[in-house]
Amino acid sequence: MMDWIGIASGAAWIFACALALAVLSIANWQALHSGSRLRDQLKLRRNQAALGVAGVLFCLGMAGSAGATWERVAWVVLAVGGAVYTWRARPRIIPPP
């Protein structure tokens, strides 16, 4: 019998790491071609939001593979904190007045 929860949680944190690496790679490329610093590229809202999504997925993946209840609770609390951060860092289409 396949452990689907284990597979899903493993896939979540692996995808989160791949997403974070992709964001860092693209930000580095943009910094090189625009003459700015990587730090400046990572401060952009779109990159902050993407890294936030990666953080939430990583925490959820770790929560799914945690053994003890307190570990699951800690990872879920971190995921909720990351979700709040991601929501606040999301790019806005229409700027507020």
**Is residue 51 a part of any domain in this protein?**
yes
Q: Where in the sequence is the domain holding 59, given as residue range(s)?
A: 8-89
**Is residue 96 a part of any domain in this protein?**
no
* Contact between 1 and 57 (Cβ < 8 Å): no
**Is residue 60 a part of any domain in this protein?**
yes
Residues 32-48 have pLDDT tens digits of: 999 999 999 998 888 98
**Is residue 75 a part of any domain in this protein?**
yes
- The number of folded domains in the chain is 1
| CA 34/CA 97 separation, integer angstroms | 30
Using alpha carbons only, what angle is made at residue 71 by residues 65 and 75, rounded to the nearest 5 degrees?
Answer: 75
Residues 66-79 have pLDDT tens digits of: 888 999 999 999 99
Hey, which bits of 1-97 come out as E strands?
Answer: none
Of the chain, the percentage scoring pLDDT greater than 90 comes to 65
Please, which residues have CB within 8 angstroms of residue 86's CB and are 6 or more apart in sequence? Answer: 49, 52, 53, 55, 56
**Is residue 50 a part of any domain in this protein?**
yes
**Is residue 95 a part of any domain in this protein?**
no
Residues 7-64 have pLDDT tens digits of: 999 999 999 999 999 999 999 999 999 999 999 999 888 898 899 999 999 999 999 8
Using alpha carbons only, what angle is made at residue 15 by residues 10 and 17, rounded to the nearest 5 degrees?
Answer: 100
